[in-house]
Structure 1
Amino acid sequence: MSEKRQANIVVKHIKSEYGANPEFLWPDRYPGYAAFRHDNNKKWFALVATISSKSLGLKDDKAIDVVNLKFDKNQTYDFAETSDHIFPAYHMNKNNWITIWLDGTLSDGLIFELIKKSYLLSAK
């Protein structure tokens, strides 16, 4: 599965499951960064973005699609060690967020479960 395909699936899932539309907060500098928030408290629960693989500490330098999700406080590093496609968050608090590489390696179902967790954690 291509990265763009899985990123598109994730965006469609968030829109249909949570009724959240993407917000493009930095259209000039980061036109491909789509933030998703709760309607009631405006807290983010997901950020879909295209970033450099080097930003995640990978050796090559290519554009990859990712999703940042809220995660259990101070467990992100432990969780990130379970997969080479899950990282402490890119460009967010690494104690509270994870970054998932959307290249089709991880199942949509697993990613949907993690989105739900993020949604519930950020609803408070």
Structure 2
Amino acid sequence: MTTPFLPTPADTQAAHTQLKQLQAQAGQVPPRLAALLGDLLGQVAAGKAIHVVTLDAEIGTQQAADLLHVSRPYLVKLIDDGALPHRKVGPRRRLALDDVLAYKARLDGQRQAALQALADDLQEMDLG
């Protein structure tokens, strides 16, 4: 899907129905696929616009930068600093999607830990 999908009221109703059917088929659909479809249907049922992007096992620097919500030059700096492994295909850098997602998960974990530490500090100071 290359353009966002903005559900109509009929789409949200159909998504509710499909979500109930998916939940009724628990065990018949592989868990990871059921979770993905459930999340997608849940978003549509809530009336939210969605945008599905397919990615290859290897991605370019712009795709990786988009996934990490950083600029491409910053991503190249991360690669040059050794924070993200890559391989060269001609003049272009290619990154394994798994490596980019693992890096994102580490960053998200660090951010969550920092937010928790801040919340704990605020609690100690009776500001939270």
Which category describes the TM-score, using the shorter chain as reference length?
under 0.3
Larger C-alpha radius of gyration, 1 or 2?
A: 2
TM-score normalised over the length of structure 2: 0.23
More helix by percentage: 2
TM-score normalised over the length of structure 1: 0.24
More strand by percentage: 1
Q: Which of structures 1 and 2 has the larger relative contact order (alpha carbons within 8 angstroms, sep 6+)?
A: 1
